[in-house]
Amino acid sequence: MKLNVPTLASLQEQGQKPDVVFWVGCAGSFDDRAKKITKAFVKILNHTKTSFAVLGTEESCTGDPAKRAGNEFLFQMQALQNIETLDRYGVTKIVTTCPHCFNTLKNEYPELGGNYEVMHHTQFLKSLIKEGSLKVEGGVFKGKRITFHDPCYLGRANKIYEAPRDLIQKLDAELVEMKSCKSKGLCCGAGGAQMFKDAESGDKEINEERTSQALETKSDIVAAACPFCTTMMTDGIKHHKQEDQVKVMDVAELIANANNL
């Protein structure tokens, strides 16, 4: 199935404006694993006939990893340029599959002049279900054990714990919690720009610890809601040699699969 991915520029040429802008993020655009999440989400957007557009080549890093690495200057350069682009198109509403982009756009752009309604894709999917355009039934996931790994920048940072869990429960799956969950959720190890560097020396990698917790739940699937978490958790499962038994999937992929998209 060919994806329909309009850009803001192409819509503007036709004199149109989308209801919402899908902020794809760098991982979602370039990382092979994360691209699958991006496509799964777009399939749902197409399926529900959501009026959306992406920035395409006009999108640039939000600046989150630069800021967390200590480069406030580079962060603000990125932010101000992105705000200029978004405002040029008169964007008011943004949805993103990356909690880091979500947090930065939602919380740190306003002080630099960028004011938008920003939603994480789990919140957005929930709203699609609520308004009736998206129906979710268990399908392949019916009766499966699924545990949810809270992304720090969705959970603790923004107190969004229920939206992804509500979606998982729509799959008629059995949602099981890890020993650290919600506000006590353990980081996957990628935040604060750690994704882009080796960890400092220690006893073990953080994702090994977190996936141990996930494996303790004896789940069939580890659900995530962040491209970086997905990568870290996938690697952690491989470290424990459980990749044949346990799959790591983004909530958008679960929903898309359940609907045979």
Partner 1 sequence: MSYLPNFIFLILLILGGGIFLRNILQIKRNINLGRATDRKDQISQRWKQMLRIALGQSKMGTKPLAAFLHLIVYVGFIIINIELLEIVLDGLLGTHRLFAPLLGSFYNILIASFELLALLVLVAVFFFWARRNVIKIKRFWKAEMKGWPKYDADLILYFEVVLMSLFLCMNATDFLIQQQDVPHFIKAGSFPVSQFLLPLFDGFALETLLILERIFWWAHIAGILVFLNYLYYSKHLHILLAFPNTFYAKLVPDGKFEVDQNIKNEVMLMLYPDQTEPSSQGEVPSKFGASDVFDLQWTQLMNAYSCTECGRCSEACPANLTGKKLSPRKIMMDTRDRLEEVGKNLNANNGVFKPDDKQLLHDYISAEELWACTSCNACVDVCPIAIDPLSIIMDMRQYLVMEQSAAPQQLNSMMNNIENNGAPWPFSNQDRLQWANE
Footprint on residues 47-106 left by partner 1 (CB under 8 A): 54, 56-57, 59-61, 63, 65-74, 76-78, 80-81, 103
Under 8 Å between Cβ of 253 and 221: no
* H-assigned helices in the chain: 8-13, 25-30, 32-47, 64-69, 72-88, 99-103, 121-130, 162-170, 206-216, 227-239, 251-258
Contact flag: residue 227 with partner 1 (CB under 8 A): no
Side chain identity at residue 107, one-letter code: N
Amino acid at 205: E
Which of 195/223 has CB closer to partner 1? Answer: 195
Residue 208 or residue 243: which is nearer to partner 1 going by CB? 208
Among residues 117 and 137, whose Cβ is nearest to partner 1? 117
Determine which residue in the list 1, 132, 201, 241 makes contact with partner 1, applying CB under 8 A: 201
Nearer to partner 1, 42 or 173 (CB): 42
Residue 149: CB atoms within 10 Å: 28
Cβ-based neighbour number of residue 162 at 10 Å: 13
Interface positions, 24-43, toward partner 1 (CB under 8 A): 24, 26, 28-31, 35, 38-39, 42
**Residue 48 CB, nearest distance to partner 1 (Å)?**
18
Give residue for tokens 């069939």: 220
Binding mask 142-171 for partner 1 (x = CB under 8 A): ----------xx--xxxx------------
Q: Rounded CA gap, 112 and 14, in Å?
A: 30
176 scored as a contact of partner 1 (CB under 8 A): no
Instruction: Say if CB 182 and CB 155 are below 8 A apart.
Output: yes
Q: How many helices (H) and strands (E) does the chain have?
A: 11, 8
Out of 206, 237, 252, 254, which residue is the one contacting partner 1 (CB under 8 A)?
A: 206
Closest approach of Cβ 17 to partner 1, in Å? 19
Which residues 104-133 are close enough to bind partner 1 by CB under 8 A?
A: 107-108, 111-112
The CB-of-79 to partner 1 minimum distance in angstroms stands at 8
One residue of 1, 14, 90, 198 binding partner 1 per CB under 8 A:
198
CB 88 to partner 1: min, Å: 14
Binding status of residue 254 toward partner 1 by CB under 8 A? no
Dist CA 24 CA 180 (whole Å): 29
Task: Compute the distance between CA of residue 169 and CA of residue 233 in angstroms, rounded to an integer.
Answer: 21
